[in-house]
A and B are shown apart, each in its own frame.
Chain A
Amino acid sequence: MAQMTIAEALRQAIREEMIRDERVFCVGEDIGIEGGFGGAFTVTLGLSNEFGHDRILDTPISETAIAGVAIGAAVAGMRPIADVQYGDFLFCMMDQLANQAAKLRYMSGGTLSVPMVMRAPVGATARGSQHAQSPEAFFTHIPGLKVVAPATAYDAKGLLKSAVRDDNPVLVFEHKLLYGSKGARSEKGALSPVGDVPDEEYLVPIGEGVVRRPGKDVTIVATLLMLYRALGAAETLSQQGIEAEVIDPRTLVPLDKELILASVRKTGRLVIVEEDNLTNGWGAEIAAIVADDAFVWLDAPIKRVAAPDVPPPFAPPLEREYVPSEQKIVDAVLSIL
């Protein structure tokens, strides 16, 4: 067992998969340059020394090409791990993801597959509107893409390894304030959780959520940074005698519906927390699922805590208002008790 940050866990996952399978390679901007960053948040730092520039491929600033190359290489039998520096840049490659990666298998009558990974950092971090968005929901709407969002070092390693071995396109969303990036790439105000990672090989299956904190009074569903805010809110609520059950879906597509439904059947109340904008977020889908399948178990309306429907702002007081806080989660829970 070793203690490590999420950035270190992701790096270890990539390294182990590249050693295990020579088809695995990395492709992205600034990921293997000597004297560079090792990707925007140090995840690939040092890997080009070990694996060379033929397997850690630095690209021009060409997000469409990064996605296209990953798709083509995947169709032709490789296992690319592509990344973008900021999740917002996924919109630059939207056609490649939404029309190509997601549809090629279906359009071929199921005769080919696109085993690629696309990693993307998300979260508002004092960078203004275009390096801040949490765009997971867009991709949950596209049949043919899997979407994961690991919030701990253990899950980051286990889910990334599962993503590499999956025969389908998998988007891996990572949070800037959770990486634990060091040196010049460290983030102000980061949580940087350090977690236990086993020395032996393990995988975290795509599609399985986990209960982070058991409780009987209300279910709170949250991913990434919002998971930690939800756990903080649960602690505050506990001091008032309210026991919240906190669920981390870990995967948004395919979603572990049963875990959430089972919890709601027990607690009768549901609060969903997401850093994405409120309207048509993945939280709305979970609310609809619960309304469909567990309506009679609900004792109160479902509440969503999300960013307001504005672009991510810059100034710290504005960003603090934008990103859901522990207090907003506490207030949402209290409003339905």
Chain B
Amino acid sequence: MNLETQSEVPLHELPSLEQLIGMYRTMYLIRRFEERVNELYMEGRIPSTLHLYIGQEAVATGVCANLNQGDYVLSTHRPHGHSLAKGVSPQSIMAELFGKATGCSKGKGGSMHVGDIDLGVLPAIAIVGANVPIASGTALAAKMQKTGGVTVCFFGEGAANEGAWHEGLNIAAIWELPVIFLCENNLYAASTSFSKTFKIQNVAERAGAYGFPGIVVDGNDVLAVYDTAREAVARARNGQGPTLIECMTYRQCGHSRSDPRTYRARDEEDEWKQYDPIPRYRNWLVDQGKAGAAELSHVESDVEQIIQDAIAFAEASPEPTPQDVYLGVFKE
């Protein structure tokens, strides 16, 4: 795969100008959200552990740009980007990371379980691979209810070696469920590299074993991701069943907040930074005359303000009371 230029894949349909700028806004929001969250963590201002999405922003952004509010998203232990891209408010996610009562899970979930069911985002599932059969379930419901809704299930390449993953893919295949299995292959499952845990070149090859298409795409190219997901979402909505999309990408940070990344070469990291999805896309927008630098700077300062407001909201929000621990187990 050539990662050097934007959109090697010929696009079937270019998004509208509004969508193009919107996707830049989402990517930049995720990036700055994660960077600020990391700083807040280092300053000791938030109690949560963190799995940052920095470097993978094009994936959530390009995929979710194809989704409606009624579509479901299942996420992972690295979930902030998925939720932000699906429209969950930065305030409610930030408040959740602070452990506040105003958080999207009222302080019950924390970083690894953010979501908002009203926007179709289930609380993120931090048991690797366990979200896959559940995604087949939300897709089954949409099929039975004839809503035309689809489900996107995000997971890292490491999840593809879990049993639940295989069971979830197979049942989606035989029932032709409207689900997109979205692999973010960031090359490392915690510290273990892809080549140590797979005897095949790409996770996407496994789709063939279940009888549906598997596609590899440059996950640092938001337009390529958008276009590939658009096709898969259309297939799902038309009753043509699941698709496995493998987005090749790179986790610029460590696995979690305490990871010094001593298992991979700095040269490798430097090389991937050249393919950082955000400058790539920004340059493309400017070069193609889709947006002026001033316009994008305006988007960026807007985003800074949104994040600043989210932090202020989180800090000003009340903590849950000890009595809240007893609430929300059973629905009465």
- A residues sitting closer than 8 Å to B (CB atoms) are 25, 54, 57, 59-60, 62, 64-65, 67-78, 80, 95-96, 99-100, 104-113, 115, 143-144, 146, 167-168
Is the pair A65, B105 in contact by a Cβ cutoff of 8 Å?
no
Contact of A74 among B106, B109, B137, B142 (CB under 8 A): B137
Also in contact, A68 and B164, with CB within 8 A (given A54-B144, A109-B108, A109-B109): yes
Interface-central residue, B127, B142, B144, B175, by most chain A CB under 10 Å: B144
B312: CB under 8 A from chain A?
Answer: no
A313 to chain B, nearest CB (A): 29
Contact of A72 among B117, B133, B329 (CB under 8 A): B133
A selection of 14 A-B contacts at a CB cut-off of 8 Å is A64-B133, A64-B163, A68-B130, A68-B133, A69-B136, A70-B137, A76-B141, A96-B133, A105-B328, A108-B109, A108-B113, A109-B106, A109-B328, A144-B329
Contact of B167 among A64, A75, A146 (CB under 8 A): A64
Is the pair B117, A75 in contact by a Cβ cutoff of 8 Å?
yes
Cα(A115)–Cα(B107), bound, Å:
23
Segment among B118-126, B224-232, B266-274 that sits at the interface with chain A: B118-126
Q: Which of B138-174 contact A (CB under 8 A)?
A: 138-142, 144-145, 151, 163-164, 167-168, 170-171, 174
Cα(A72)–Cα(B131), bound, Å:
9
B169 to chain A, nearest CB (A): 9
With a cutoff of 8 Å between Cβ atoms, the chain A residues found around residue B132 in the complex are 68
A89 to chain B, nearest CB (A): 13
With a cutoff of 8 Å between Cβ atoms, the chain B residues found around residue A75 in the complex are 117, 122, 134, 137-138, 141
Is the pair A107, B137 in contact by a Cβ cutoff of 8 Å?
no
Is the pair B164, A111 in contact by a Cβ cutoff of 8 Å?
no
With a cutoff of 8 Å between Cβ atoms, the chain B residues found around residue A73 in the complex are 137-138, 140-141, 144
Is the pair B331, A69 in contact by a Cβ cutoff of 8 Å?
no
Chain B interface size band reads 35 or more
With a cutoff of 8 Å between Cβ atoms, the chain A residues found around residue B108 in the complex are 106-110
Is the pair B331, A113 in contact by a Cβ cutoff of 8 Å?
yes
Is the pair B327, A111 in contact by a Cβ cutoff of 8 Å?
no
Cα(A113)–Cα(B331), bound, Å:
7
Is the pair A106, B329 in contact by a Cβ cutoff of 8 Å?
yes
Contact of A95 among B107, B138, B139, B164 (CB under 8 A): B164
Cα(A59)–Cα(B137), bound, Å:
12
Mask for B190-226, Cβ within 8 A of A = 1, else 0? 0000000000000000000000000000000000000
Cα(A80)–Cα(B144), bound, Å:
12
Is the pair A65, B141 in contact by a Cβ cutoff of 8 Å?
no
A140 to chain B, nearest CB (A): 14
B188 to chain A, nearest CB (A): 23
Is the pair A67, B144 in contact by a Cβ cutoff of 8 Å?
no
Is the pair B171, A62 in contact by a Cβ cutoff of 8 Å?
yes
Is the pair B134, A100 in contact by a Cβ cutoff of 8 Å?
yes
Cα(A59)–Cα(B175), bound, Å:
9
Is the pair A168, B137 in contact by a Cβ cutoff of 8 Å?
no
Also in contact, A69 and B133, with CB within 8 A (given A76-B141, A78-B141, A107-B109): yes
Also in contact, A104 and B140, with CB within 8 A (given A95-B164, A99-B127): no
B103: CB under 8 A from chain A?
Answer: yes
B112 to chain A, nearest CB (A): 9
With a cutoff of 8 Å between Cβ atoms, the chain A residues found around residue B140 in the complex are 69, 72-73, 78
Interface-central residue, A65, A76, A146, by most chain B CB under 10 Å: A76
Is the pair A68, B136 in contact by a Cβ cutoff of 8 Å?
yes
B129 to chain A, nearest CB (A): 9
